[in-house]
């Protein structure tokens, strides 16, 4: 199963629309479940809910073989913890999805992880999804075949400075 999640704060219709369109255009038989939050777009090609309890969220996360998400730290940390490959697509301030571009900064810091796959835009997402579901790509990016993510030292420094 593919679990698509936008988090609990802001809508991310662009991500949900891109996944919904990918489902409609692909021959993949992969089940897709989406947590769509406060967005106005309801997908037509997969099961979706607005919100999940923390327990149900974790249960679905654990059952999934691939996560597709905004570049939110909570989701990324959960994927790293549970050793799940994750595709992240950042929300962008210039599109009114965020008040600043902190998710673009998150993408820069996590791009080097083999467990984290980046789709820069909704146009990139279908190709990235197809790659992630291919057997050779999945084997290469299987978190069980890699060492645990080692944070970028600049990220650690950034967080220290932010907290101070």
Mean pLDDT of 37-63: 96
Please, what is the angle between helix 125-133 and helix 13-25, to 10°? Answer: 60
Q: In which band, very low, low, confident or very high, does the pLDDT at 129 lie, cut at 50, 70 and 90?
A: very high
Q: Evaluate whether 163 touches 157 at the Cβ level (below 8 Å).
A: no
Length of the chain (residues): 164
What's the CA gap between 9 and 26, in Å, rounded? 30
CATH of domain 2-163: 3.40.50.2000
Residue 3 in tokens: 């679990």
Nearest alpha-carbon partner for 129 in 21, 43, 42: 21
Least confident of 10-19, 42-51, 104-113, 139-148: 139-148
- Domains in the chain: boundaries: 2-163
Distances (CA, A) of 10 to 36, 97, 130, 160: 10, 7, 27, 26
Higher-confidence position of 161 and 128: 128
Mean pLDDT of 109-125: 88
Mean pLDDT of the chain: 86
Q: At 86, is the secondary structure helix, strand, or coil? A: strand
Mean pLDDT of 94-118: 82
């Amino acid at each position: 199963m593919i679990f698509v999640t936008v988090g609990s704060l802001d809508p991310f219709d662009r991500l949900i629309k891109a996944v919904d369109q990918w489902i409609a255009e692909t021959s993949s038989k992969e089940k897709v479940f989406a947590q769509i939050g406060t967005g106005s777009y309801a997908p037509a090609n997969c099961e979706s809910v607005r919100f999940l309890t923390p327990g149900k969220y974790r249960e679905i996360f654990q059952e999934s073989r691939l996560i597709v998400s905004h570049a939110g730290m909570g989701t990324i940390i959960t994927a790293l913890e549970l050793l799940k490959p994750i595709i992240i697509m950042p929300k962008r301030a210039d599109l009114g999805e965020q008040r600043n571009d902190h998710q673009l900064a998150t993408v820069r810091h996590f791009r080097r992880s083999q467990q984290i796959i980046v789709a820069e835009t909704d146009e990139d997402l279908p190709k990235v999804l197809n790659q992630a579901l291919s057997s050779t790509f999945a084997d290469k990016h299987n978190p069980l075949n890699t060492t645990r993510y080692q944070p970028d030292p600049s990220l650690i420094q950034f967080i220290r400075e932010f907290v101070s």
